[in-house]
């Protein structure tokens, strides 16, 4: 360091700067600084841990994503549910064959064929992912609830596919409340699933840096642990939009619920059946069913001809069931037939 002092030369007082160290000492200090390592520098004034030890924890990471992976740190929430396509309530076998015309296959995502005259086959991939096993290119769409709240915000969408890792950052503009948010982006790799290609995971997040995946030491892309990514949590999020009450794969009789016949001024005689749901549905759903369903009462079995939603509650829905010869006041149980390709779906999707 240095300080000011005064000296007298030929009777004149002059202020001068006096150094605390000699020129040689200063030169030696510069040489020492140039040879400092992480073991010589402390993390902070209050933490004597060598900064080299702190940096080594990052495992030599050269990207923010790699540092997150090595540290096991949390990442931003994913605005998409079922981001790794594990949940297929409509097609529990994990296979869809047909010409998709803007329909839900894996929960939460719509698929639209580029050529509706040719059939596609989609398959669920073990460990997460959806594969366009055969057929033409298909556009991926995502109607995001509350998409308008993102207007003016910087968002990043990323996807890990069998063909590589792709990411794009945009400022959301003009999105409606339930817009297809994916159409805000322009990278075809994020918008389309090509024949033979698998999409392992997809993420939409606020901010300009992706936190879906990182490259390991071999250069291979690996998924970062995501918040609320366990199967049960993801299923519950999906069930808010649609709920498969009876699976196509059920091998035996399945009881849906119970109720009693009553008269209806609009539809004649009906049987209201209350069905509990694990979570509250987003809105009043549409009920669809396939296969044979019956109202069973003792030895009496009446084949169901129609079902409709009566009302929705926080813990379930009331379904109006119709069949020939329902008796007023008689107690019935609603059953799905055994060994049939039956399903019962409550659809509250956007």
Q: Number of folded domains in the chain?
A: 3
Q: What is the pLDDT of residues 145-162, one digit of tens each?
A: 999 999 999 999 999 999
Q: Give the sheet arrangement for strand 316-323, strand by strand.
A: 254-260, 331-336, 293-297, 300-313, 316-323, 268-276, 262-264
Q: So what's the pLDDT on residue 71?
A: 47
| 317 against 264, higher pLDDT | 317
Backbone φ, ψ for residue 87 (5° rounding):
-100, 120
Going across the sheet that includes 101-104, the strands are 101-104, 110-113, 138-141, 192-193
Domain match, 182 and 272 both: no
Find out whether 194 and 112 touch, Cβ atoms under 8 Å: no
Same domain, 255 and 219: no
Residues 171 and 220 in one domain: yes
Among 43-52, 84-93, 122-131, 202-211, name the one with the lowest average pLDDT.
43-52
Quote the percentage of the chain above a pLDDT of 90: 68
- Tell me, yes or no, whether 105 and 232 share the same domain: yes
Per the document, the length of the chain is: 350
Looking at the fold, whether 150 and 263 belong to one and the same domain comes out as: no
- The tens digit of pLDDT for each residue in 215-253 reads 999 999 999 999 999 999 999 999 999 999 876 555 556
CA 97, 306, 281, 332: dihedral to nearest 10 degrees? Answer: -120
Q: Do 21 and 147 reside in the same domain of the chain?
A: no
Does 77 fall in a domain? no
pLDDT tens, position by position, 164-192: 999 999 999 999 999 999 999 999 999 99
Predicted pLDDT at 342: 80
Query: By C-alpha distance, which of 200, 166, 212, 199 is closest to 185?
Result: 166
Q: Do 235 and 260 share a structural domain?
A: no
pLDDT at residue 164 in the model: 97
Are the C-beta atoms of residues 73 and 96 closer than 8 Å to each other?
Answer: no
Q: Is residue 147 part of a domain?
A: yes
SS3 state at 299: coil
State the pLDDT at residue 261: 96
Q: Sorting pLDDT into bands at 50, 70 and 90, what band is 336?
A: confident
Tell me what the mean pLDDT of segment 99-112 comes to: 97
Whether residues 22 and 64 share a domain: the answer is yes
Q: Is residue 144 part of a domain?
A: yes
pLDDT tens readout for residues 11-34: 556 565 565 656 566 556 656 655
- Which one of 239, 258, 280 terminates a domain? 239
- CA-nearest of 162, 170, 142, 158 to 213 is 158
Q: How would residue 205 be classed by pLDDT, with cut points 50, 70 and 90? A: very high
Q: Are residues 131 and 147 in the same domain?
A: yes
Q: Is there a single domain that holds both residue 221 and residue 104? A: yes
User: For residue 251, what are the domain limits?
Assistant: 242-347
- pLDDT digits over 277-313, tens only? 999 999 999 999 988 899 999 988 999 999 999 999 9
Q: According to the model, what pLDDT value does residue 72 have?
A: 47
């Amino acid at each position: 360091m240095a300080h000011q002092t005064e000296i007298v030369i030929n009777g004149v007082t002059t202020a001068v700067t006096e150094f605390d160290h000699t020129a040689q000492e200063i030169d030696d200090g510069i040489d020492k600084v140039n040879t400092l390592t992480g073991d010589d520098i402390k993390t902070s004034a209050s933490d004597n841990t060598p900064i080299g030890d702190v940096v080594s924890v990052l495992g030599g990471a050269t990207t923010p994503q790699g540092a997150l992976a090595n540290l096991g740190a949390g990442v931003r929430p994913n605005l998409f549910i079922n981001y790794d396509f594990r949940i297929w309530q409509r097609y529990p076998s994990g296979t869809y064959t047909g010409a998709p015309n803007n329909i839900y296959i894996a929960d939460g995502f719509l698929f639209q064929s580029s050529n509706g005259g040719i059939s596609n086959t989609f398959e669920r991939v073990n460990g997460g992912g959806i594969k366009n096993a055969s057929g033409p290119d298909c556009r991926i769409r995502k109607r995001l609830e509350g998409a308008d709240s993102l207007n003016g915000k910087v968002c990043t969408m990323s996807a890990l596919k069998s063909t590589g890792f792709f990411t794009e950052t945009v400022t959301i503009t003009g999105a409606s409340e339930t817009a297809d948010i994916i159409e805000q982006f322009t990278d075809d790799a994020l918008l389309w699933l090509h024949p033979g290609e698998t999409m392992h995971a997809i993420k939409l997040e606020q901010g300009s840096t992706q936190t879906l995946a990182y490259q390991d030491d071999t250069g291979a892309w690996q998924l970062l642990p995501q918040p609320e990514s366990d199967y049960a949590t993801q299923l519950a999020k999906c069930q808010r939009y649609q709920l498969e009450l009876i699976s196509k794969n059920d091998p035996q009789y399945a009881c849906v619920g119970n109720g009693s016949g009553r008269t209806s001024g609009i539809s004649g005689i009906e049987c209201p059946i209350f069905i509990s749901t694990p979570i509250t549905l987003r809105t009043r759903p549409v009920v669809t069913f396939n296969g044979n369903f019956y109202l069973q009462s003792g030895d009496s079995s009446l084949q169901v001809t129609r079902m409709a939603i009566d009302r929705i509650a926080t813990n379930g829905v009331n379904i109006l069931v119709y069949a020939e010869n329902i008796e007023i006041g008689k107690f019935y149980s609603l059953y799905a037939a055994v060994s049939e390709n039956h399903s019962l779906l409550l659809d509250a999707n956007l």
